[in-house]
Amino acid sequence: MLSKLKNKTDRIFLRPAVMLTSIGITPNLVSTVGFLIGVLAGVTLSLGSFTFGGILILFTGLADILDGAMARSAQMASISGGVIDSIFDRYVDSIILLGLGLGGVNWFYVGLALTGSLLVSYTRAKGESVGVEGCDVGIAERSERLIILAGGALLGLAAPAVILVAVLANLTAVWRAIYIVKRV
């Protein structure tokens, strides 16, 4: 849902993106920093510090928005950069959810959320690989999932947030699978 706002977020992040690229910072560097912040978020959550972990989740999400805005605004988008960003995103998604499990959220819910989160991106990639356009249907893309998890951690509602992510992510993955199967 939030991916539909990509042009607006690019405009919002244009000035910082141009400033960072003008001083030699690359989108891949921002992706790497975002990845490291995501790892720190997972570790922080695993130690039970959900408030600080929630803040770190927001920062890893901001880095993910910023690296894309930088790549597009400076015509630095590349296939290898996209691959690196996507792999980092999957690791961060997994590490955050594992951190929540280690921090005390029920592992069954964590497992469902992790499965759904990975399948959301997998179904899109699979659909695109077989030539289906518009595979970004659904209601729980990465941005939405990060916002839900960050909000849950910040508000002391980590377990309900994980359950909500589990439901919405799996619903989105199934929605995408049906969308793709109908078009191949």
Q: What is the DSSP string of the chain?
A: -GGGGHHHHHHHHHHHHHHHHHTT--HHHHHHHHHHHHHHHHHHHHTT-HHHHHHHHHHHHHHHHHHHHHHHHTT---HHHHHHHHHHHHHHHHHHHHHHHHTTS-HHHHHHHHHHHHHHHHHHHHHHHTT-S-TT-SS--HHHHHHHHHHHHHTT-HHHHHHHHHHHHHHHHHHHHHHHHTT-
- Catalytic, 93? Answer no
Catalytic residue among 64, 85, 89, 93: 89
Contact 13, 64 (CB under 8 A): no
The interaxial angle of helices 158-181 and 107-129, nearest 10 deg, is 30
Q: Active-site positions? A: 89
